[in-house]
Chain A
Amino acid sequence: MAYDVDNPAPVIEPPRARTSRTPRKFTPGNFEMHAWLFMRLSGIVLVVLVIGHLLIQLVLDGGVSKINFAFVAGRWASPFWMTWDLLMLWLAMLHGANGLRTVINDYAERDGTRFWLKMLLYTATVFTVLLGTLVIFTFDPNIR
């Protein structure tokens, strides 16, 4: 297609430019701040939890070969380890989900895409967290 002075080619606009009509306020309250803070704090806690978890599971006391049903059952007999794993599950899932949420916010250009990707993310997160929690609390060491 030919373009000339009076028939210029279209220019390529960047995604979601700010205009005077850009809504001034999307998120009431301090959600974004709390999400940001949560990422930092959960990150620090997760470093301890995950490294501890890896040491116990994979390094100390014979390493990975010791792991079997009895080992897991033994640990979950103690409320301390139940809490540890529960905390690790929740924090890791929320930390990861929030990270993905920001990635979606950054890269999904259309509002619709962003909405459905986030819905998918939230569904997956809720499902995993609930399932994990259920397993930890209802674990029965005597099943055969």
Chain B
Amino acid sequence: MATPVMEKSEAGAGGTAADSPYITATFRIRRFNPEISDEVTWQDFQLEIDPKERVLDALHKIKWEIDGTLTFRRSCAHGICGSDAMRINGRNRLACKTLIKDISPEKPITIEPIKGLTVQKDLVVDMEPFFQAYRDVMPFLITKGNEPTRERLQSAEDRERFDDTTKCILCAACTSACPVFWNDGQYFGPAAIVNAHRFIFDSRDEGGEQRLEILNDREGVWRCRTVFNCTEACPRGIEITKAIQEVKRALITRRY
């Protein structure tokens, strides 16, 4: 246990009166409220805020102290529930996992709803089409024959094979970052393919063939243009484009 380390982690965290940690930042938020107007407007909010805070903290500050009508979804506030995916400075991010200091707060920070889904109010979009695509890939373990009395056995290597795609929290950051999805909402989208991948490559699953058939569709994996927007957007760091490529390879070789 090194004492110097403690000093280091303290730096700036406490915040003495002399050097206030606060900065002034502008948040430019895309507003839409169908109960008032069919027009979309951009509204600027100036905040005194600690740059080490999250974008979600800034949104809360606006909602709680300035404008209660600002509407967005949120729940856990630390990046595991997937409620608050939004487009921050043009990139899909979770508001609760994006610190203000990391997104150049000296310039106005733009916040808008994720693209490709119907905007219902401010930052709230209709998630139904997204979950429909998820449901359509049969995202559950399919097995045949009798259930064993104890657990199904699986080697650590077989478990590792699909570990990356089990991390998905269904926040829709990837799917709504995909240019193919923007133009064709019937494309399954990266998230649904990720969740199919999670089962196709699970050694316990016996429904891989069915799932591959579904993704062999015109709206399936072959629409992927390997743009890598999904991988860039994923707040869980899943290598989504790679997962999609693995599904393509499995379709060609029928080995998985």
Known: A3-B36, A15-B184. A105 touches B132 (CB 8 A): no
Q: Which B residue's beta carbon lies closest to that of A19?
A: B132
The reply to whether the CB of B77 lies closer than 8 angstroms to some CB of chain A is no
Query: Please, which residues of chain A bring their CB within 8 A of the CB of B183?
Result: 15, 106-107, 109
B136 and A11 form a contact (CB under 8 A): no
A37 and B252 form a contact (CB under 8 A): yes
Interface bits A1-18 vs B (CB < 8 Å: 1, else 0): 101110011111111111
For B185, give its contact among A12, A17, A33 (CB under 8 Å). Answer: A17
Query: Please, which residues of chain A bring their CB within 8 A of the CB of B136?
Result: 18, 22, 24
Q: Find residues 113-134 in chain B having any chain A CB closer than 8 Å to their own CB.
A: 116-120, 126, 128-129, 132-133
The reply to whether the CB of A97 lies closer than 8 angstroms to some CB of chain B is no
A33 and B222 form a contact (CB under 8 A): yes
The reply to whether the CB of B34 lies closer than 8 angstroms to some CB of chain A is yes
The reply to whether the CB of B186 lies closer than 8 angstroms to some CB of chain A is yes
The reply to whether the CB of A137 lies closer than 8 angstroms to some CB of chain B is no
CB A117 to nearest CB in B, in angstroms, measures 14
Known: A12-B118, A24-B136, A30-B216. A3 touches B35 (CB 8 A): yes
Query: Please, which residues of chain A bring their CB within 8 A of the CB of B118?
Result: 11-14, 17
Q: Which A residue's beta carbon lies closest to that of B121?
A: A11
In whole angstroms, how far apart are the Cα atoms of A5 and B38 in the complex?
A: 12
Q: Which A residue's beta carbon lies closest to that of B179?
A: A106
B120 and A11 form a contact (CB under 8 A): yes
The reply to whether the CB of A32 lies closer than 8 angstroms to some CB of chain B is yes
In whole angstroms, how far apart are the Cα atoms of A1 and B38 in the complex?
A: 9
B35 and A4 form a contact (CB under 8 A): yes
A26 and B219 form a contact (CB under 8 A): yes
The reply to whether the CB of B214 lies closer than 8 angstroms to some CB of chain A is yes
Query: Please, which residues of chain B bring their CB within 8 A of the CB of A24?
Result: 136, 214, 217
Query: B interface, how many residues as a size bin?
Result: 20 to 34
Query: Please, which residues of chain A bring their CB within 8 A of the CB of B129?
Result: 14, 17-19
The reply to whether the CB of A20 lies closer than 8 angstroms to some CB of chain B is yes
Known: A20-B132, A24-B214, A105-B218. A3 touches B37 (CB 8 A): yes
A8 and B182 form a contact (CB under 8 A): no
In whole angstroms, how far apart are the Cα atoms of A107 and B180 in the complex?
A: 9
In whole angstroms, how far apart are the Cα atoms of A30 and B251 in the complex?
A: 9
A32 and B218 form a contact (CB under 8 A): yes
For A35, give its contact among B34, B126, B128, B222 (CB under 8 Å). Answer: B222
| Between-chain CB contacts (< 8 Å), 30 pairs | A3-B35, A3-B36, A4-B36, A8-B34, A8-B35, A9-B38, A10-B34, A10-B38, A11-B34, A12-B119, A14-B118, A14-B185, A15-B185, A17-B117, A17-B129, A18-B132, A18-B136, A19-B128, A19-B132, A24-B217, A25-B217, A26-B217, A27-B218, A30-B216, A35-B222, A36-B248, A106-B180, A106-B183, A106-B184, A106-B223
Query: B residues within 8 Å of A by Cβ?
Result: 34-38, 116-120, 126, 128-129, 132-133, 136, 180, 182-186, 214, 216-220, 222-223, 248, 251-252
Q: Which 7 A-B pairs have the closest CB atoms?
A: A9-B38, A8-B34, A9-B34, A32-B222, A17-B185, A17-B129, A26-B218
